[in-house]
C-alpha cells in the first residue's frame, strides 16, 4: 500500500518486523485486533459493521525466514514439540478516524501494548506513513535547512561546529571563555552538551548571558553570527521562559533532549518558538539498538519532525558509538526525505553528524549523501587539531571543498596545510 | 551504597545490568565518564579538581557471570581470538548538582547516550535512588491510596472495575449505555481504553458528558459514585482543557498514556489537577520486555510517581500478556514501597491489576501482596460471567472476602453462588 488514503478516508500505515511461533497470518491478525476493535475475547457490541469501520487492516505480510530460538522471553510456544520461530514484515493500517491527527494518541495505537503480546518473541516498528491531515494540527519544522542557513548566514557548505567540553563542570564564565576560543577559531555552530542544562553550578541564565555577550561581541567584530544551540531542556514552563530569554538576548537556536521531554512538550515549545529547534536524541539507543525490539529511526524521527524540530542527531561515519555507517547514512537521508507528497509540506530537517568526526570522514559523508545540507559537529577534529582550533576548522572546510569538487583529500592537502596536518594526525 | 547523601551533598544512584567484552572495571569507568565529565578523549579543562567535584562514581560492581555471544550487535570485541562477554551489576552515582532536581535532565544522565556506547553488548537500568531534594520541585501523587478511597468511597477491599470494550467504535451514547450497565452491575471503577481518547467518531467532550449524565443519575439513585478514568491523553493545552471539563461536570478521575505524553506534560497536568491521575503504561513493553536492553519497572515508575500519578498498571496474575507472575507482583509491591525515607513523603501509589482477570486470580494476588489497596480491573471476569455483569462483580467481591478471611475459594463458593459460577466458568 503506497498511499495513506483509501476510498473510505485517510489511514495511518505502520510496517513492523515480527517474530512469532504462531502462524504468521494469525499473529498479524492479533496485532491488528488488539490495537483497534478487538480484545482477548469477542465482546458484545463488536459488530461486523463496527469492525468494518474501525478495525485495523493487514495490508501486507512478507515472510522473512525462520529461526530456532526466540529473541525475547515470555512468548507463546507450542507445548511439547519444538517451536519454529517465523519472522516477517507486516504492514498494518488504521482508519485515521480511530484517533484523529493526534501524535500521543497515534502512539497508543501503533506503539502501545503491542510489545507485551504473548504471540510475539520479537517486534520492531520499522516505518510509519501518516496522512497529510496531521499537518492541519502539527506545524512541522519552522526553519529546516533554508531557515537554519538564513539564521546562520552559512551557505553552500555544511555548518561546521562543536560541542562544548568538558560536558559538565565548567562555570558560566569558563563556558563563555571556551565559546570565545571556538568563535575566534571560526566555527559556525556551538552546542551545549546534553548533560548541561540548568545545574546549580552552571545555571541556564548565567551561562546563556555569558555566552551571548561573547557571541554578540564576536558578531560585531567579524560580522559572523555563530549559531548557539543552548540546552533549554526542562519542564514546559521552564523551557518557555528560557526560550523568551533566548529571544530577548538575540539568541538564535535552542536545544532540547527529545526523549526526555516527550512530544507534547515539544509541540508546546514549537507553538511559541522563534528560533531553530535543535533536537538531541540521547536515549535513542534504548529504542534503536536491538534488532529484536524497538522502533526504527525512520519511524521515530517522523514524529518529532511533525512536532517541529529543525535539526536532529544521526551520529557520523566511523563514529565512536556502535552504529554502523549504513545506518548513519540511512538516517541522514531519511531526515531529508519528504514526509508527505506535494503539494503538502515535506517537513525536511537538517541532520547533525557528530561523534569522533574529523576531516577524514568528509569524503565518505559527501559521497554517501551528495549534499552539504548538514551540520558537522567535530569536537575532536577541531580542538584536537595540532595547529589549534582555527586550523581544525580550516581543515574541515578544506575537506568539504575537496569532496564537493571531487578532488581526493590527499591531493587537495598538498596545497592546504591544515588539511594535511589533519590527515597526518587523525589518519594514524 | 544505601543512602543518596554523601559528605559532599546529595547524589543520584543508578544500578545497571551490563554485558561487555571489555574488563568490567574499565567498562564501568566508561559509563561514569561518558555520562559526566568525560568524553572520548581527555580535553583541556577536565582538571582533577573538576572531576573530583562533578564526575560520576562507581559505587559497586558485582560480576554476574560470562556468556559466549553478545546480546546486542555493534559492541566492541577483540580482533582475532574469541571474546568473553562478561555480565555484571554496576551501581553509579552522580552529584545532584550536575543537573539539579530536574527529571528531564536526570534522564540525560542516567538514561541518555549509555545505550549507544560501543563497550556494551547489553544494558538495563535496574533501579534508581533519588535524593529527597526532588520533592522540593515535584509534588508526587496528590491522592494515592487514601485519596482514591476517599473519592470513590470504597474501603476495606480493592476497587473492582473494568475497561469499556470494544476499545474503539462505540459512539458517545453507546459508550454511556455500556457504562450504565456496568454501574448498575455494581462496579467501583470504569476506565476508557487507551485507544479511545478524542477520535472524531467519539470525541472527548460528547463521550465524557454522556457518561457523566449516566454516572450522576446512578449516584443520585444509589449513593454510589463510580470512579471513571476518562482518557484525556493529548497535547498539553488539550489535556488541561479536558481536565477543566472533568472538574466542571463532577468527574472524579483522569487517565493519561504516560509514554505517549512524557514527564513534563504529566508535571504540567499535575500542577492543575484536582482528581486522581490514572497512569496507563501502554508502550511499556518497549522498555520492559527484553532482558538485554531497557529500563526496569522499579526505575521507570519512580519517575512518574514523582511527577504525580496516583495509579499505574502492573498487569495481573496469569495475565494474557507475556509478563510473569513474579514480575507482576514485584511491580505492584514497588508501587507501595516508599521512594524516600521518613520524614519525607513516600509517594506510594495504587497498582492496577488487569488483563484476563477473574475471581480465580484473587487468592494468589492476596497471598502475594497481603493488601487490598489495589484496583482490580476484570473485564472478562465481569462481563464474561454467566450470570451477567452484576453476578461477575459479586463473584469478585466474594473472592476477595474469602481470600482476606483465609478461606479457600472452593469452600467459600459453597454458600456464594456467583463465586461458584465464576469458578465453574473460568476454571475450565
All residues of chain A having their beta carbon less than 8 Å from the beta carbon of residue B237 are 268
- B205 near A CB under 8 A: no
Q: Do B293 and A315 touch (CB under 8 A)?
A: no
Residue A391 pLDDT: 98
Q: How close does chain B come to A355, measured CA to CA in Å?
A: 9
Cβ within 8 Å of residue B342, ≥6 positions away: none
Q: B6 at the A interface (CB within 8 A)?
A: no
* Total Cβ atoms within 10 A of residue B73: 11
Average pLDDT of chain B, as a whole number: 95
Q: Which A-chain residues 392-411 have CB contacts (< 8 A) with chain B?
A: none
d(CA A302, CA A313): 13
CB contact under 8 A, B199 and A98: yes
What's the distance, Cα to Cα, between the start and end of chain A in Å? 49
Give the CA dihedral B386, B390, B393, B397, nearest 10 degrees.
-110
Comparing CB atoms, the residue among A195, A295, A321 nearest residue B108 is A195
Mean pLDDT confidence for B310-316: 97
Cross-strand partners of A377: A161
Closest CA to B272 of A102, A237, A245: A237
Asked if the model's pLDDT at residue A19 lies above 90, the reply is: yes
* Alpha-carbon gap, residue A75 to A121, rounded angstroms: 5
Residue B40 is nearest to which of A51, A234, A356, comparing CB atoms? A356
- Contact (Cβ atoms closer than 8 angstroms) between residue A190 and residue A229: yes
How many residues belong to chain B?
428
pLDDT, tens digit, 9 for 90 and up, residues A340-374: 999 999 999 999 999 999 999 999 999 999 999 99
DSSP strand pairing (A375-377 vs A159-163): parallel
The pLDDT tens digits for A224-283 are 999 999 999 999 999 999 999 999 999 999 999 999 999 999 999 999 999 999 999 999
CB pairs under 8 A between A and B: 323
Torsion of CA A120, A314, B266, B4, to 10 degrees: 90
CB contact under 8 A, A97 and B200: yes
Residue B285 and residue B327 in contact, taking contact as beta carbons nearer than 8 Å: no
Q: At what angle do helices A172-185 and A204-222 cross, to 10 degrees?
A: 30
| CB < 8 Å to A262, chain B | 260-265
- Confidence grade of residue A89 (pLDDT, cut at 50, 70, 90): very high
Domains in chain A (CATH in brackets) are 4-136 (3.30.70.150), 144-426 (3.20.20.110)
C-alpha span between B178 and A219 (Å, rounded): 66
pLDDT band at B167 (very low <50, low <70, confident <90, very high): confident
Q: CB distance from A133 to chain B under 8 Å?
A: no
* B102 neighbourhood in chain A, CB within 8 Å: 197-198, 233-235
CB contact under 8 A, B166 and A261: no
% of chain A at pLDDT higher than 70? 97
**DSSP-derived pairing of the beta strands B375-377 and B5-6:** unpaired
| Cα→Cα distances B211→A54, A105, A195, B203, B208, Å | 21, 21, 46, 12, 5
Q: Which helix (H) or strand (E) holds A117?
A: none
**Among residues A71, A82, A280, which one has the least CA distance to residue A163?**
A280
Give the pLDDT confidence score for residue A40 in this predicted structure.
57
**Model confidence pLDDT, tens digit, residues A205-223:** 999 999 999 999 999 999 9
Give contacts of A380 with chain B, Cβ < 8 Å. Answer: 40-41
- Please check whether residue A171 touches B, CB under 8 A: no
Q: Give yes or no for residue B81 having a pLDDT over 80.
A: no
Tens of pLDDT, residue by residue over B103-120, are: 999 999 999 999 999 999
B337 touches chain A (CB under 8 A): no
- Taking only residues 280 to 309 of chain B, the set having a beta carbon closer than 8 angstroms to any beta carbon of chain A reads 282-287, 289-295
The whole-chain average pLDDT of chain A stands at: 95
Helices (H) and strands (E) in chain A, counts: 17, 14
**Nearest beta carbon to residue A115 from set B51, B286, B380:** B286
- Distance in angstroms (rounded) separating the CA atoms of residues A25 and B340: 49
Q: Are the Cβ atoms of B322 and A118 closer than 8 angstroms?
A: yes
Q: What per-residue confidence (pLDDT) applies to A267?
A: 98
In DSSP notation, A8-59 reads TEEEEEEEEEEEESS-HHHHHHHHHHHTTT--SS--TT--HHHHHHH--EEE
How distant is the Cα of A294 from the closest Cα of chain B, in angstroms? 6
DSSP state at residue B149:
H
B356 near A CB under 8 A: yes
Q: What is the mean pLDDT of residues A181-204?
A: 96
- Give the per-residue pLDDT at A2: 45
Contact call for B104 and A315, based on CB within 8 A: no
Closest residue in B to A45 (Cα–Cα) = B166
DSSP symbol at B321: B
Q: Is B69 on the interface with A (CB under 8 A)?
A: no
Q: Alpha-carbon torsion A174, A175, A177, A181, what sign?
A: positive
- Digit-coded pLDDT (tens) for A119-150: 999 999 999 999 999 999 999 999 999 999 99
Nearest to residue A52, comparing CAs of A109, A89, A9, A113?
A9
Give me the percent of chain A exceeding a pLDDT of 90. Answer: 90
On whether any CB of chain B is under 8 Å from the CB of A56, the answer is no
pLDDT tens per residue, range B323-379: 999 999 999 999 999 999 999 999 999 999 999 999 999 999 999 999 999 999 998
Cβ contact B199:B221 at 8 Å: no
Q: E strands, A144-226, where?
A: 159-163, 189-191
Q: Is the pLDDT of residue B20 over 70?
A: yes
Min Cα separation A309/chain B (Å): 16
Q: Which residues of B touch A120 (CB under 8 A)?
A: 322
Q: Does B8 touch chain A (CB under 8 A)?
A: no
- The DSSP bridge pattern shows strands A9-20 and A350-353 to be unpaired
| pLDDT computed for residue B43 by the predictor | 67
Specify the 3-state DSSP secondary structure of B128: strand
DSSP-assigned beta bridge partners for residue A129: A13
Asked if A264 and B235 come within 8 Å (Cβ–Cβ), the reply is yes
Question: Which one-letter DSSP state was computed for residue B133?
Answer: G
- pLDDT at B2 (0 to 100): 44
The Cα B301–Cα B334 span in angstroms is 8
Q: What is the band of A1 on the pLDDT scale with cuts at 50, 70, 90?
A: very low
Distance CA B185, CA B131 (A): 45
Interchain contact A204–B (C-beta under 8 A): no
Give me the mean pLDDT over the B173-193 stretch: 97
Provide the pLDDT for residue A299: 98
Note whether A9 contacts B: Cβ–Cβ < 8 A. no
The residue in chain A having the minimum alpha-carbon distance to the alpha carbon of residue B74 is A322
Contacts of B75 in chain A (CB under 8 A): 322
B104/A260 Cβ within 8 A? yes
Test A283 with B165 for CB contact under 8 angstroms.
no
Q: What is the largest CA-CA distance in chain A?
A: 79
Q: Do A195 and B44 touch (CB under 8 A)?
A: no
> Mean pLDDT throughout A296-305?
98
pTM beyond 0.90: the answer is yes
ipTM score above 0.90? yes
In chain B, which residue's Cα lies nearest the Cα of A175?
B45
By the CB < 8 Å criterion, does A54 face chain B? Answer: yes
Report CB contact under 8 Å: B165, A97: no
- Split at pLDDT 50, 70, 90, the class of A5 is low
**Does B42 score more than 80 pLDDT?**
no
Instruction: Calculate how close chain A gets to B344, using CA atoms only, in Å.
Output: 22
Q: Computed from CA positions of residues B256, B260, B262, B265, in that sequence, does the dihedral angle turn out positive or negative?
A: negative
Q: How many CA within 13 A on the CB side of residue B369?
A: 35
Confidence at residue A361, expressed as pLDDT on a 0 to 100 scale: 97
At A39, the pLDDT band (50, 70, 90 cuts) reads low
Residue % of chain B over a pLDDT of 70:
97
Going by C-beta distance under 8 Å and a sequence separation of 6 or more, which residues neighbour residue A356?
Answer: A316, A318, A319, A320, A380, B40
Q: Does A380 sit within 8 Å of B108, measured CB to CB?
A: no
Q: Which of B332, B389, B323 shows the shortest CA–CA distance to B160? A: B389
Amino acid at each position: 500500500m503506497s498511499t495513506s488514503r483509501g476510498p473510505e478516508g485517510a489511514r495511518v500505515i505502520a510496517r513492523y518486523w515480527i517474530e512469532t511461533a504462531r502462524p504468521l497470518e494469525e499473529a498479524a491478525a492479533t496485532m491488528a485486533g488488539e490495537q483497534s476493535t478487538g480484545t482477548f475475547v469477542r465482546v458484545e457490541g463488536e459488530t461486523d459493521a463496527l469492525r468494518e469501520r474501525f478495525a485495523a487492516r493487514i495490508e501486507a505480510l512478507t515472510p522473512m525466514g525462520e529461526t530456532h530460538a526466540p529473541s525475547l522471553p515470555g512468548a507463546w510456544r507450542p507445548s511439547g514439540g519444538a517451536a519454529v520461530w517465523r519472522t516477517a514484515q507486516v504492514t498494518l493500517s488504521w482508519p485515521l478516524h480511530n484517533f484523529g491527527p493526534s501524535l500521543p494518541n497515534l502512539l497508543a495505537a501503533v506503539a502501545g501494548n503491542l510489545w507485551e503480546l504473548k504471540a510475539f518473541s520479537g517486534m520492531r516498528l520499522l516505518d510509519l506513513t501518516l496522512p497529510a491531515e496531521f499537518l492541519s494540527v502539527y506545524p512541522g519544522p519552522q526553519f529546516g535547512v533554508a531557515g537554519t542557513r538564513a539564521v546562520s548566514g552559512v551557505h553552500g557548505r555544511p555548518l561546521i561546529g562543536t560541542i562544548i567540553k568538558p560536558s559538565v563542570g565548567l562555570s558560566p564564565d569558563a563556558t563563555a571563555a571556551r565559546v570565545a576560543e571556538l568563535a575566534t577559531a571560526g566555527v559556525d555552530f556551538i552546542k551545549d552538551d546534553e548533560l548541561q542544562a540548568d545545574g546549580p553550578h552552571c545555571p541556564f541564565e548565567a551561562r546563556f548571558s555569558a555566552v551571548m555577550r561573547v557571541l554578540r561581541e564576536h558578531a560585531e567584530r567579524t560580522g559572523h553570527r555563530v549559531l548557539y544551540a543552548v540546552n533549554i531542556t526542562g519542564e514546559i514552563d521552564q523551557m518557555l521562559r528560557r526560550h523568551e530569554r533566548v529571544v530577548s538576548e538575540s539568541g538564535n537556536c535552542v536545544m532540547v533532549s527529545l526523549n526526555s521531554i516527550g512530544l507534547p512538550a515539544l509541540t508546546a515549545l514549537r507553538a511559541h518558538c522563534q528560533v531553530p529547534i535543535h533536537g538531541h536524541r540521547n536515549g535513542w539507543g534504548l529504542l534503536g539498538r536491538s534488532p529484536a525490539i524497538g522502533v526504527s529511526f525512520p519511524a521515530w524521527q517522523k514524529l518529532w519532525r511533525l512536532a517541529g524540530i529543525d535539526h536532529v542527531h544521526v551520529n557520523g561515519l566511523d563514529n565512536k558509538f556502535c552504529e554502523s555507517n549504513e545506518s548513519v547514512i540511512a538516517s541522514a537521508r531519511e531526515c531529508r526525505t519528504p514526509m508527505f507528497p506535494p503539494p503538502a509540506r515535506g517537513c525536511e530537517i537538517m541532520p547533525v553528524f557528530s561523534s569522533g568526526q574529523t576531516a577524514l570522514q568528509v569524503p565518505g559523508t559527501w559521497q554517501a549523501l551528495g549534499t552539504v545540507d548538514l551540520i558537522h559537529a567535530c569536537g575532536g577534529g577541531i580542538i584536537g587539531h595540532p595547529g589549534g582550533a582555527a586550523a581544525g576548522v580550516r581543515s574541515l572546510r578544506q575537506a568539504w571543498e575537496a569532496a564537493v569538487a571531487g578532488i581526493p583529500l590527499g591531493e587537495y592537502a598538498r596545497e592546504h596545510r591544515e588539511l594535511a596536518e589533519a590527515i597526518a594526525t587523525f589518519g594514524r
